[in-house]
Structure formats: structure tokens, C-alpha cells
């Protein structure tokens, strides 16, 4: 290489070095938000403010904010906060004597969770803080700070000043890695009781398990109102009822019938994982309720969590070519489940009526009456396991119809036992209540 070529090469290197230094200086002096390379912001562990997470994951966060607009209904469910008591007045009778007979509105989108629980008429002076457990992204931090036992001991009104954020990123994700995690101590304890460690689950499994942080059946144990999932014997309706019987738990006593009753919450996880077709095929909750979408070259899971029926092409179309056929099948299944559910409610109401009459009769056989009450308690628990679950049976159609059939049978047995207890064949009368069209209320 001659000296002229060497000088040219050195000059080129100097120029490139100067250009690189100039670029670095330029980028350093530019505001963070206008740099060409996305900056990764540190997110504190269990950070309750989802907006801070959104700086790193704008697509996911912006889609999550759309849950504010989740006020649409499907045929049988939805997110408009409609009243179940107005839509199905039989439930006023079924829940007589407890707060759900006064206020029972359907849930809206996740962005509404905190507002809706604060405004429900079911909240009173004695309401435990445990009711906040599935309503706020503040919870993981509070549980870590004070422990769930102390959290649950607080009254709802005492805990309220510490609950400022609705459901958010911290309820499902680890801030450092963004992996899906179990954040509810009650879920971790329930899984441990079954010998399961969620940390060993696959990512696809976690896309269902993470929903079980909230979408499950639960109760408040003991004076401390400790949040507990009744999974010690298993997660089927039979196994959970057996658990409640063993521990002698009741949510309330039905007036005049004196039956120790149970109120089911929202057992979507238990229903879906009970050997349903989709679950056995490896489908996760997020596949249908949070399907993948694209924004230019970016692919991400849609955090506008809602019914697949509101976006069937995107949700169902991932696996099914004929979406029209699929939604038609859903309609057939839900129609059948709804009609069966209403027939079950009629049977339970007839049983309640018979038990109330037998209880009022001082000559009634108390042993037979106790059997009638036990059958009533079990029947209504089975029915509510279906009714309180938010898919009108579609999450597990065969299982749902089996549970409703058993519930109806138990209710008719309860009615018969009450008639035998009172030695009054008239109590076997069917359809003793009817729907009064004028007022929309059930009357004798």
C-alpha cells in the first residue's frame, strides 16, 4: 500500500469516527421519547400503576384501556352491568335473605372493577376488606407488605384508602420478566394443597392459570374472613360441595326454610378445566378472550379482555374456518343451557316453598325435614355453580347439563322429603310460583 492510499484510509477512518461521535452526542442530547431506539423503563416490583408498565408495552396497555368501553352484552351475558334480578326475577327468591337478593349486577370490563365494587349495594359497615381481593392492582403489594391474613381482617371501609387502582398489570405479570405469575396468595395455597407448583407450568398453562387469580369459587374462612378456595378435595362441583360440608360452612340461612345456604361466586376456571373439549385440546383462556392481534409489524395479545362472541372472527377464527357455524353452535348450546337452568330454578323454588310450609308445621318430622334442607342446599349450590359462571354453559356444555340435571333431581327430592315430613301431599304441587307479567315479580 503506498503512502497516498494509506492517507486516504486514515482520512476515511477519521471521518467515520467523527460521524459516530457526533451521532452519539446527538442521541444523548435528544429527549428520551424521541430517540429512534425504544428505551426500557424500570418497573418496580408489584407496581400498581399500569400506566407505568404501558411505557414499555404501549400496545398492550392501550388495548387494556379499551376495557372501559366493555359495556356491551351478548345474548345471555355481557358487560353492561345489567341486573340479574331484573333479567331473572326468580333469583330474588333464590337468594332471599342475603345481599345478592338486593343487588346482583353483571360485571363490566376490568377497568370498571374497582368502581363497581365500591358502588354495589351489597357493601355495608361490616363488609370485610377481603371483598377487594380481585378488584385492584394494589393488592399484590399490600399482600406482600402486610400478609393476606392481616389484609383480610380489615374492614372494607378501613382498606379503601389503600385501594386506588383497578385491576391491572401487577395482577398477572412479574415486572422484571413480564412472565405470567400467581399473585393471589389464596390461589397459591389452593394449588399447593393439590401438590401443584405453578412455577413448573408452561407458558400456555399459565395463560389459563393466571385467570384463576380471580375467576374462581371462593369463600371467607373464619372470623378473620381469610380468602380460601375450596379445592382441598378437588375443583369439581361435587368435590367443592363435599369440602363445604366437611368444614360446616354456610353463607346464610334461608328465611323460614332455615336451610344453611351457599353462594357460588364465578367459577370459570373450575368449569373450564373440568375436562372441557377446549381445555383438553390445549386451548387457554387467553386464546379466546385475549387473541393475538397485529399493529403493523408488532404482534401482541389483545388486552381488551371480553367475550369471544364480540369478536368471533378474531377469537374463534384462529382455529375454526367457519366462524358462522361456530357462533351458531354457541347459540344452540347456550339456548339449551338457559332453558334447562330456568327449569332447575323452578324446581328449587318449589322445594323452598315446600320446606317453608313443612317448617311452619309443628307436627313435621324433623329428621325428614333436615334431609329436605340438605337436598335444597346441595341442589342450589349445583345450580349456582352454573348460574354464577359467566359462559351460560359454553365453557363446558356436557358438564353443565349434567350438573343442572342433578340439581333438578335434588330439588324435586327435597320437595318430596318436605311433603313427607309434613305428611302433606299438597306440597308436591309443581309450579307453585309463576312469573307475574305485569310487575315482573314472582308471587304465590
309-315 average pLDDT score: 94
Residue 112 lies in a domain: yes
The model's pTM is 0.88
pLDDT for position 440:
46
Q: Determine the Cα–Cα distance for residues 101 and 90; give it in Å rounded to an integer.
A: 10
Domains in the chain, number:
1
Residue 270 has pLDDT above 80, yes or no: yes
pLDDT for position 239:
98
Residue 67 lies in a domain: yes
What residues contact residue 102 under an 8 Å CB cut-off, 6+ apart? 121, 122
Q: Is the dihedral of CA 58, 63, 69, 71 positive or negative?
A: negative
Residue 36 has pLDDT above 50, yes or no: no
Can you give the residue range of the structural domain that contains 201? Answer: 43-72+107-249+284-307
Nearest alpha carbon to residue 194 among 239, 151, 149: 239
pLDDT in tens, 162-189: 999 999 999 999 999 999 999 999 999 9
Q: Is residue 386 left, alpha or beta, with left meaning phi > 0 and alpha meaning psi from -120 to 50?
A: alpha
Residue 15 has pLDDT above 90, yes or no: no
The residues pairing with 435 across neighbouring beta strands, listed in sequence order, are 442
Q: Which one is predicted more confidently, 8 or 42?
A: 42
Nearest alpha carbon to residue 311 among 291, 329, 334: 291
The lowest-confidence range among 37-41, 241-245, 252-256 is: 37-41
Question: What secondary structure letter does DSSP report for 39?
Answer: P
pLDDT for position 8:
61
pLDDT in tens, 349-361: 999 999 999 999 9
Nearest alpha carbon to residue 170 among 147, 142, 138: 138
Residue 245 lies in a domain: yes
pLDDT for position 70:
80
The continuous run of DSSP H or E covering 253 comes out as strand 252-253
C-alpha cell at 284: 387457554
Residue 312 lies in a domain: no
Residue 192 lies in a domain: yes
pLDDT for position 79:
80
What residues contact residue 87 under an 8 Å CB cut-off, 6+ apart? none
pLDDT for position 61:
96
Largest separation between any pair of C-alpha atoms in the chain: 122
Task: Label residue 35 by pLDDT band (50, 70, 90).
Answer: very low
Q: Determine the Cα–Cα distance for residues 57 and 115; give it in Å rounded to an integer.
A: 25
Residue 330 lies in a domain: no
Residue 128 lies in a domain: yes
Residue 351 lies in a domain: no
Residue 259 has pLDDT above 70, yes or no: yes
Q: Is the dihedral of CA 27, 32, 37, 40 positive or negative?
A: positive
Contact 321, 312 (CB under 8 A): no
pLDDT in tens, 43-97: 999 999 999 999 999 999 999 999 998 878 888 987 888 999 999 999 999 999 9
The lowest-confidence range among 4-18, 238-252, 387-401 is: 4-18
pLDDT for position 338:
97
CATH (domain of 239): 1.10.1130.10
Contact 101, 95 (CB under 8 A): yes
pLDDT in tens, 322-339: 999 999 999 999 999 999
Residue 296 has pLDDT above 80, yes or no: yes
Q: Determine the Cα–Cα distance for residues 138 and 167; give it in Å rounded to an integer.
A: 8
Q: Determine the Cα–Cα distance for residues 440 and 277; give it in Å rounded to an integer.
A: 38
pLDDT for position 81:
83
Amino acid at each position: 500500500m503506498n503512502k497516498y492510499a494509506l492517507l486516504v484510509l486514515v482520512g476515511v477512518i477519521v471521518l467515520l469516527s467523527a460521524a459516530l461521535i457526533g451521532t452519539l452526542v446527538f442521541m444523548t442530547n435528544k429527549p428520551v421519547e424521541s430517540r429512534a431506539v425504544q428505551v426500557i423503563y424500570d418497573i418496580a416490583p408489584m407496581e400498581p400503576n399500569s400506566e407505568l408498565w404501558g411505557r414499555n408495552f404501549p400496545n398492550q396497555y392501550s388495548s387494556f384501556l379499551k376495557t372501559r368501553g366493555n359495556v356491551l352484552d351478548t345474548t345471555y351475558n355481557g358487560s353492561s352491568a345489567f341486573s340479574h334480578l331484573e333479567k331473572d326475577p326468580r333469583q330474588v327468591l333464590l337468594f332471599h335473605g342475603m345481599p345478592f337478593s338486593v343487588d346482583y349486577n353483571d360485571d363490566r370490563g376490568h377497568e370498571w372493577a374497582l368502581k363497581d365494587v365500591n358502588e354495589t349495594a351489597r357493601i355495608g359497615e361490616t363488609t370485610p376488606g377481603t371483598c377487594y381481593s380481585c378488584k385492584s392492582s394494589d393488592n399484590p403489594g399490600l399482600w406482600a407488605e402486610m400478609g393476606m391474613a392481616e389484609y383480610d381482617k380489615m374492614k372494607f371501609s378501613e382498606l379503601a384508602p389503600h385501594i386506588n387502582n383497578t385491576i391491572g398489570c401487577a395482577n398477572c405479570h412479574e415486572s422484571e420478566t413480564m412472565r405470567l405469575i400467581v399473585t393471589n396468595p389464596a390461589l397459591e395455597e389452593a394449588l399447593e394443597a393439590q401438590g401443584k407448583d405453578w412455577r413448573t407450568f408452561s407458558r400456555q398453562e399459565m395463560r389459563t392459570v393466571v385467570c384463576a387469580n380471580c375467576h374462581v369459587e371462593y369463600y371467607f374462612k373464619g372470623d378473620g374472613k381469610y380468602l380460601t378456595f375450596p379445592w382441598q378435595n378437588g375443583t369439581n362441583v361435587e368435590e367443592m360441595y363435599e369440602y363445604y360440608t366437611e368444614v360446616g360452612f354456610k353463607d346464610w340461612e334461608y328465611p323460614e326454610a332455615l336451610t344453611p345456604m351457599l353462594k357460588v361466586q364465578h367459577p370459570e376456571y373450575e368449569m373450564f378445566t373440568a375436562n372441557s373439549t377446549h381445555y383438553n385440546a390445549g386451548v387457554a383462556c387467553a386464546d379466546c378472550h385475549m387473541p393475538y392481534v397485529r399493529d403493523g409489524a408488532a404482534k401482541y395479545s389483545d388486552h381488551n379482555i371480553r367475550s369471544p362472541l364480540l369478536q368471533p372472527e378474531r377469537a374463534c377464527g384462529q382455529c375454526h374456518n367457519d366462524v358462522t357455524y361456530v357462533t351458531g353452535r354457541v347459540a344452540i348450546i347456550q339456548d339449551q343451557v338457559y332453558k334447562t337452568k330456568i327449569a332447575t330454578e323452578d324446581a328449587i323454588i318449589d322445594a323452598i316453598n315446600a320446606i317453608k310450609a313443612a317448617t311452619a308445621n309443628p307436627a313435621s318430622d324433623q329428621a325428614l325435614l333436615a334431609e329436605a334442607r340438605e337436598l335444597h342446599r346441595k341442589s342450589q349450590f349445583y345450580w349456582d355453580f352454573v348460574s354464577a359462571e359467566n359462559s351460560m354453559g359454553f365453557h363446558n356444555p356436557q358438564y353443565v347439563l349434567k350438573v343442572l340435571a342433578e340439581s333438578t333431581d335434588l330439588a324435586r327430592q327435597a320437595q318430596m322429603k318436605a311433603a313427607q315430613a309434613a305428611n302433606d301431599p299438597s306440597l308436591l304441587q309443581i309450579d307453585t310460583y309463576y312469573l307475574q307479567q305485569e310487575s315482573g315479580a314472582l308471587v304465590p
